[in-house]
């Protein structure tokens, strides 16, 4: 097995456990209190969860977030989860497509036959994107039939690895180039450390319209590399294990910048997604709950998990008197003190109670 395939196999195994969770930090979504409406004047069937994300329509604001690709085990996982996205009208994201870009490996990336109309997000690291031609990336996207390309930003994960990337110059120029030269939208995606307002402002100025904040509070990729004994030193990995901006803090930081926001990072339920949407996200993404369901019962269990998550979002909308996710974004909400500290001055002020 190649080093890359071995790494991906380790990631699948570790991310199915609690061992790689943040140790002392949550995603702060528990600090978002939705306001109950005893007179919603709605029926459950009235709730319309249709959402536009990166220019494509979803039947519900859910992304089956990036997990894996490039190895035999990824083939079954990705095909099953992509077919679940097709069934329920969700978006589906590949893990890193570096094996396809650099080695022509297609395992885990050929899902269009089981997901002909699903919204599919490609995925490549910003360092690899910087070094690749736009044509090579366009070919990669075309081979897999992606509707958008996520360019992932993972400096924290890389710098703790003994042979990881340590030169992150030119990232913004790379994103700008790809936005101009690719025929699909480009999504800037973090990998578990969140996004600040400064980063959001720079991305918006570069013409990037969609971001995946992938905040702290879920899987720590520094922790993953530490447990794989891939940190430069165990001490370094332990020190930076909890590095990052919590998911809810990241969403709050990006308020008012005109970005479509995907809230990932420790998102476990449809209620979590509803909280993120109320805070300003366009959709919520999760990987581990789908992987856990798939591990326990295959495609059927993953489909049942999707149904449950969608129903939870629908019920949260009903109980706040919101006929749609857009209506939920206009409702008042209460924020706990730890999350309030992340809200920019003047941000969300018209909607916050207390």
User: What pLDDT is attached to residue 71?
Assistant: 74
Domain spans in the chain, listed from the N-terminal domain onward: 3-30+55-311
User: What pLDDT is attached to residue 1?
Assistant: 47
User: What pLDDT is attached to residue 129?
Assistant: 98
Q: How far is CA 123 from CA 99, 149, 243, 324, 347, in A?
A: 11, 6, 23, 29, 31
Predicted confidence (pLDDT) per residue in 162-196, tens digit: 778 889 999 999 999 999 999 999 999 999 999 99
Query: Is 167:178 a contact under the CB 8 Å cutoff?
Result: no
> Is residue 10 predicted with pLDDT exceeding 80?
no
Query: Is 288:81 a contact under the CB 8 Å cutoff?
Result: no
Enter the tokens of residue 17.
């456990």
Percent of the chain scored above 90 by pLDDT?
Answer: 79
Query: Is 19:227 a contact under the CB 8 Å cutoff?
Result: yes
Query: Is 325:48 a contact under the CB 8 Å cutoff?
Result: no
Of 143, 65, 146, which Cα lies nearest the Cα of 101?
A: 143
Residues 198-226, mean pLDDT to the nearest whole number: 94
Query: Running DSSP on this structure, what letter comes out for residue 106?
Result: -
User: What pLDDT is attached to residue 21?
Assistant: 84
* Alpha-carbon span 73 to 76, nearest angstrom: 6
- Among 226-235, 286-295, 312-321, 342-351, the range scoring the smallest mean pLDDT is 226-235
User: What pLDDT is attached to residue 20?
Assistant: 74
Of 62, 17, 93, 68, which Cα lies nearest the Cα of 267?
A: 62
Query: Is 289:343 a contact under the CB 8 Å cutoff?
Result: no
Residues 260-277, mean pLDDT to the nearest whole number: 98
Q: What is the CATH number of domain 3-30+55-311?
A: 3.20.20.70
> Is residue 14 predicted with pLDDT exceeding 80?
no
Enter the tokens of residue 30.
């528990």
Residues 303-319, mean pLDDT to the nearest whole number: 98
Buried-state track 113-150, b at ≥16 Cβ within 10 A, e below 16: ebbeebbbbbbbbbbbbbebeeeebbebbebbbbbbbb
């Amino acid at each position: 097995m190649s080093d890359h395939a071995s790494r991906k196999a380790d990631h699948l195994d570790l991310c199915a456990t609690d061992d790689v969770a943040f140790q002392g930090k949550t995603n702060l979504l528990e600090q978002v209190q939705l306001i109950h409406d005893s007179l919603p004047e709605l029926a459950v069937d009235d709730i319309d969860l249709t959402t536009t994300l990166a220019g494509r329509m979803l039947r519900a604001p859910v992304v089956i977030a990036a997990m894996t690709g490039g190895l035999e085990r990824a083939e079954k996982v990705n095909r099953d989860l992509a077919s679940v996205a097709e069934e329920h009208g969700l978006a589906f994201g590949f893990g890193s497509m570096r094996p396809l870009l650099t080695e022509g490996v297609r395992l885990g990336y050929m899902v269009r036959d089981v997901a002909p109309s699903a919204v599919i997000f490609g995925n490549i690291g910003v360092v690899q994107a910087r070094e690749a031609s736009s044509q090579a990336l366009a070919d990669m996207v075309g081979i897999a039939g992606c509707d958008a390309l996520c360019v992932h930003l993972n400096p924290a994960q890389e710098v703790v690895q003994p042979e990881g990337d340590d030169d992150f110059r030119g990232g913004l120029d790379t994103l700008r180039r790809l936005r101009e030269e690719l025929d699909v939208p480009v999504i800037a995606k973090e990998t578990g450390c969140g996004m600040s307002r400064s980063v959001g402002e720079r991305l918006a100025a570069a013409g990037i319209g969609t971001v995946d904040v992938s905040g702290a509070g879920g899987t720590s990729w520094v922790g993953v590399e530490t447990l794989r004994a891939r940190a430069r030193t165990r001490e370094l990995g332990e020190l930076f294990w909890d590095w990052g901006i919590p998911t809810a803090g990241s969403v709050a930081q990006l308020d008012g910048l005109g970005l479509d926001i995907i809230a990932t990072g420790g998102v476990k339920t449809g209620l979590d997604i509803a909280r993120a949407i109320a805070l300003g996200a366009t959709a919520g993404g999760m990987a581990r709950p789908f992987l856990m369901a798939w591990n326990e019962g295959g495609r059927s269990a993953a489909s049942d998990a999707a149904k449950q998550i969608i129903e939870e979002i629908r019920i949260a909308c009903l109980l706040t008197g919101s006929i749609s996710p857009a209506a939920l974004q206009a409702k008042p909400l209460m924020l706990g003190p730890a999350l309030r500290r992340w809200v920019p001055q003047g941000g969300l002020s018209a909607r916050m109670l207390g």
